């Protein structure tokens, strides 16, 4: 780790290591733009974990540049006090406070800003759609000044580096790219014209901050769309910005049409953007930051060692485990709660209006989920070592309880073990590894390969019983469902060397899609049968988009609006919306229609007088995220 934890200097900023937390939307900002104690605590904890620099999330430089009511703002002096609290909290923990300044341009909604979004050209955002207002020359010059005013406020608030958000399809990126800029005046056309807006912003910032204050620029070096930016153009753009006064560049990718490159799901390789950063580093004379699925300190160390980049940005990794840098430098790699790139953080922002994390239930709830020793130590019996059972066990043990964990299988992990079989979900093994390490660290007594009965409770005599017994597969009530050809998802994933030639997967939800992809990658001819009009509900949108693309690439046949009628010895009969029945030949029919609670033990012991709690699937089938959260809450409360 000597390379990752070596010192570095950018202008007047002395960095104690090479780890930077990039700007990530927290959704912990109030609707009026105010910053609460919860927001400050979020940033303080990330800084306390040991990164050299924490870049506060994108702050809007103008009211029409906001992309969400929960976005941070810096366009008025009234916001300085709250921003100062964040900068002070970051610095108090030994990290350099930085801030990202931003304008959404066309990538917002008139519902949010109460007017038409502004843009370089009359081209709507490809995802939000709707009319936009092309900016006049005078309006562009006013926005440049607003970036300058925002910088003045940022310095007053105590930030020590300013980053211009020039990536991800927002306004500055919109000017840079032919994908979104078809202007024919001095702010369009060739590279020099399209870069002029960004160049003027950099020059304005330099005039405001002086020669020794560092300015960063974040760029989508590859947009992966027709007429979008590529490495060659990005290098030319950055050379112009370097001459204008840019001191460091953060190399990202993607725009509003290619969001999978902005927040990469687990299907994409780790450090997937590092090579782009390496190409830019060779061409420029300023420090380069790389970002993109860097969730492992060992990978980060190699990036620095190889000279691919000067600094590594770890974003979601520090949401999952704020203490990652500290644990890494202490050699406690097994204690790191690794981000699994499930994009729950993104999904929760768009669907729930708050940031959440599958592996870290305390994200966004840091104060209410802080650890406190139990007032009375109790003997706690946890039955079931899946994600929920593991989490409640170590959390309760950390608080001082005497915890006994029972698992009827030969290893812990539950459904996480099955889920990790596919090539694209190996990250789940990291979550199992972390949970097992916490069990060991906090002294949970494990009883593996031990099925619990009512007699077990009488022998153990616990004060509290927590049931995390999970669920069992459901099978649709149709003729032939009991034939040998029908298998569960677990059986399909564990088929191993027994190759399945043709399969019909009944159910096109997340599990059905994943098992279909797994089978197809192993040479199986797969058909998905789904009753809904679309497959993949309720998958996170970026993950769903990539998953469906992979299914199509693997020639998986998808029959939506269809249902299983009956199972034959050599296939399945399904019917579409017009009730026309079709026979699909198959060697296996995989039931992926869900599961039902395994509450058999609860029924046996509920009348025995114990304090009993149920979490996870044994109460109601749900996600691993829900089970881990419930375990975290219960473990902190008993």
**CATH code, domain with 559:** 3.50.50.60
Q: What percent helix, strand, coil does the chain show, rounded to 5?
A: 35, 20, 45
How is residue 436 written in tokens? 């097992």
Q: Do 620 and 500 reside in the same domain of the chain?
A: no
Q: Return the beta strands (E) in 471-623 as ranges.
A: 471-473, 486-488, 502-506, 525-529, 557-559, 563-568, 571-575, 581-585, 588-591, 595-597, 611-614
pLDDT, tens digit, 9 for 90 and up, residues 523-555:
999 999 999 999 998 888 899 999 999 999 999
User: What's the average model confidence in pLDDT over 591-602?
Assistant: 94
Are 101 and 224 in a shared domain? yes
pLDDT at position 497, please? 65
For residues 381 and 455, what is the distance between their CA atoms, to the nearest angstrom? 13
- Domain residues for the domain of 581 are 486-593
- DSSP 8-state code for residue 77: G
Same domain, 332 and 461: no
Give the phi and the psi of residue 577 in degrees, each rounded to 5.
-65, -25
Q: Do 528 and 588 fall within a single domain? A: yes
- Strand 8-10 and strand 486-488: pairing? unpaired
Q: Is 610 a catalytic residue?
A: no
Output the pLDDT for position 538: 83
- pLDDT for 271-330, tens place per residue? 999 999 999 999 999 999 999 999 999 999 999 999 999 999 999 999 999 999 999 999
Q: pLDDT tens digits for 214-267?
A: 999 999 999 999 999 999 999 999 999 999 999 999 999 999 999 999 999 998
- DSSP string covering 193-222: HHHHHHHHHHHHHHHHH-SSS-EEEEEES-
For the segment 496-516, the average pLDDT, to the nearest whole number, is 92
pLDDT in tens, 553-570: 999 999 999 999 999 999
Specify whether 313 is located in the same domain as 383.
no
Same domain (yes/no): 57, 121: yes
Residue 169 token pair: 């399809």
Q: Is residue 110 part of a domain?
A: yes
Please spell the DSSP secondary structure of 402-469, one letter per residue.
Answer: EEEEEESSSSS-THHHHHTTSGGGTTHHHHHHHHHHHHHHTTPEEEET----HHHHHHH--SEEEE--
pLDDT at residue 350, as a whole number: 80
14 vs 368 pLDDT, higher one: 14
Considering the domain architecture, whether residues 467 and 494 belong to the same structural domain is answered as no
Residue 68 has pLDDT above 70, yes or no: yes
Catalytic pick from 3, 8, 75, 170?
170
What is the side-by-side order of every strand in the sheet holding 402-407? 445-448, 402-407, 379-383, 464-467, 611-614
74 inside domain: yes
- Which backbone phi and psi does 511 adopt, to 5 degrees? -65, -45
Q: How many domains is the chain built from?
A: 3
Please state, in angstroms and rounded to a whole number, the distance separating the CA atoms of residues 54 and 43. 8
- The strand pairing partners of 596, in sequence order, are 472
Residues 334 and 193 in one domain: yes
In a domain, 479, yes or no: no
Q: Are 426 and 510 in a shared domain?
A: no
User: Nearest to residue 276, comparing CAs of 301, 241, 303, 252?
Assistant: 252
Question: By CB neighbour count within 10 A (0-12 exposed, 13-18 middle, 19+ buried), where does 126 fall?
Answer: middle
Q: Which long-range contacts (CB under 8 A, 24 or more apart) does 600-603 make?
A: 600/469, 601/383, 601/452, 601/453, 601/467, 601/469, 602/467, 602/469
**Residue 449 φ/ψ region, left for φ over 0, alpha for ψ in the -120 to 50 degree band, beta for the rest:** left
Residues 269, 174, single domain; the answer is yes
390-437: per-residue pLDDT in tens?
A: 999 999 999 999 999 999 999 999 989 988 988 888 889 999 999 999
Q: Which residues contact 532 (CB under 8 A, 6 or more apart)?
A: 508, 560, 561
CATH code where residue 417 lies: 3.40.50.720
Taking 80 as the threshold, does the pLDDT of residue 621 lie above it?
A: no
Residues 572, 602, single domain; the answer is no
Give the span between the Cα atoms of 61 and 102, in whole angstroms.
6
Q: How confident is the model at residue 34 (pLDDT cuts 50, 70, 90)?
A: very high
- Say whether 116 sits in a helix, a strand or coil: coil
Is there a domain that residue 361 lies in?
no
pLDDT, mean over the chain? 96
> Between β-strands 581-585 and 571-575, what pairing exists: parallel, antiparallel or unpaired?
antiparallel
**Is the residue at 455 inside a domain?**
yes
Q: Indicate whether 420 belongs to any domain.
A: yes
Least confident of 12-16, 80-84, 184-188, 538-542: 538-542
Share of the chain above pLDDT 90, in %: 93
Section 69-86 average pLDDT = 97
DSSP state of 29: B
Section 485-492 average pLDDT: 95
Largest CA distance in the chain: 83
Whether 616 is covered by a domain: the verdict is yes
Give the number of other Cβ atoms within 10 Å of residue 353's Cβ: 11
Q: How far is CA 383 from CA 97, 197, 361, 601, in A?
A: 45, 61, 21, 9
> pLDDT at position 540, please?
87
Picking from 301, 336, 352, the residue at the C-terminal end of a domain is 352
Domain CATH for 77: 3.20.20.70
pLDDT digits (tens, 9 = 90+) for 511-524: 999 999 999 999 99
Q: Are residues 412 and 503 in the same domain?
A: no
Please report how many Cα atoms fall inside a 13 Å half-sphere around the Cα of residue 453, on the Cβ side. Answer: 1
Q: Find residue 250's DSSP bridge partners.
A: 218, 289
Q: Whole-model pTM? A: 0.94
pLDDT band at 349 (very low <50, low <70, confident <90, very high): confident
Asked, for residue 480, whether it belongs to a domain, the answer is no
């Amino acid at each position: 780790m000597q390379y990752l934890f070596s010192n570095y200097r950018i202008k007047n900023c002395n960095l104690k290591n090479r780890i930077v937390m990039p700007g990530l939307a927290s959704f912990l900002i109030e609707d009026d733009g105010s910053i609460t104690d919860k927001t400050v605590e979020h940033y303080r904890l990330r800084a306390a974990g040991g990164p050299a620099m924490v870049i506060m999330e994108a702050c809007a430089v103008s009211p029409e540049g906001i992309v969400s009511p929960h976005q941070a703002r810096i366009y008025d002096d009234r916001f300085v006090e709250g921003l100062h609290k964040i900068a002070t909290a970051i610095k108090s923990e030994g990290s350099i406070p930085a801030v990202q300044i931003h304008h959404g341009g066309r990538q917002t909604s008139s519902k949010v800003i109460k007017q038409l979004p502004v843009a370089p050209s009359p081209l709507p955002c490809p995802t939000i759609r709707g009319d936009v207002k092309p900016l006049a020359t005078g309006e562009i010059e006013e926005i440049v000044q607003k970036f300058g005013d925002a910088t003045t406020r940022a310095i007053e608030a105590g930030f020590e580096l300013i980053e211009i958000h020039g990536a991800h399809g927002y306004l500055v990126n919109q000017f840079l790219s032919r994908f979104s800029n078809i202007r024919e005046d001095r702010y369009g056309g060739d590279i020099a014209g399209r870069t002029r807006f960004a160049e003027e912003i950099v020059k304005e910032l330099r005039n405001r901050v002086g020669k020794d204050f560092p300015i960063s620029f974040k760029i989508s070096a590859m947009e992966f769309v027709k007429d979008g930016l590529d490495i060659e153009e990005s290098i030319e753009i950055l050379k112009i910005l370097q001459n204008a006064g840019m001191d460091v560049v953060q190399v990202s990718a993607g725009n509003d049409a290619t969001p999978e490159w902005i927040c990469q799901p687990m299907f994409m390789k780790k450090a997937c953007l590092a090579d782009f950063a390496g190409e830019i580093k060779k061409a420029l004379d300023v420090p380069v930051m790389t970002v993109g699925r860097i969730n492992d300190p060992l990978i980060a160390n190699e990036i620095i060692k190889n000279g691919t980049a000067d600094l590594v940005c770890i974003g979601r990794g520090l949401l999952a485990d704020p203490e990652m840098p500290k644990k890494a430098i202490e050699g406690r790699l097994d204690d790191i709660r690794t981000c699994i790139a499930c994009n729950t953080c993104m999904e929760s922002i768009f669907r729930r209006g708050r940031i959440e994390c599958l592996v870290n239930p305390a994200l966004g709830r840091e104060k209410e989920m802080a650890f406190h020793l139990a007032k009375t130590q109790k003997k706690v019996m946890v039955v079931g070592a899946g994600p929920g059972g593991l989490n409640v066990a170590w959390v309760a043990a950390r608080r001082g309880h005497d915890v006994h964990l029972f698992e009827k299988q030969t290893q812990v992990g539950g459904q996480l073990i099955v889920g990790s079989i596919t090539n694209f979900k190996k990250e789940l093994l990291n979550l199992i590894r972390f949970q097992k390490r916490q069990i060991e660290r906090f002294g949970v007594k494990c009883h593996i390969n031990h099925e619990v009965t009512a007699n077990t409770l009488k022998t153990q005599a616990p004060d509290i019983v927590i049931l995390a017994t999970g669920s069992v597969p459901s099978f649709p009530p149709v003729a032939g469902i009991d034939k040998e050809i029908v298998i569960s998802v677990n059986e399909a994933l564990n088929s191993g060397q027994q190759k399945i030639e043709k399969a019909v997967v009944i159910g096109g939800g997340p599990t059905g899609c994943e098992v279909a992809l797994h089978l197809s990658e192993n040479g199986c001819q797969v058909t998905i049968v789904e009753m809904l009009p679309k497959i993949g509900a309720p998958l996170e949108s970026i993950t769903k988009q990539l998953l469906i693309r992979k299914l199509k690439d693997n020639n998986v046949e998808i029959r939506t609006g269809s249902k299983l009628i009956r199972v034959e010895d050599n296939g399945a009969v399904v019917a579409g919306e017009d009730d026309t029945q079709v026979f699909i030949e198959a060697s296996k029919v995989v039931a992926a229609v869900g599961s039902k609670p395994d509450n058999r033990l609860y029924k046996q012991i509920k009348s025995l007088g114990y304090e009993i709690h149920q979490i996870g699937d044994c109460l109601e089938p749900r996600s691993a995220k829900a089970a881990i959260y419930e375990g975290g809450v219960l473990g902190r409360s008993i």
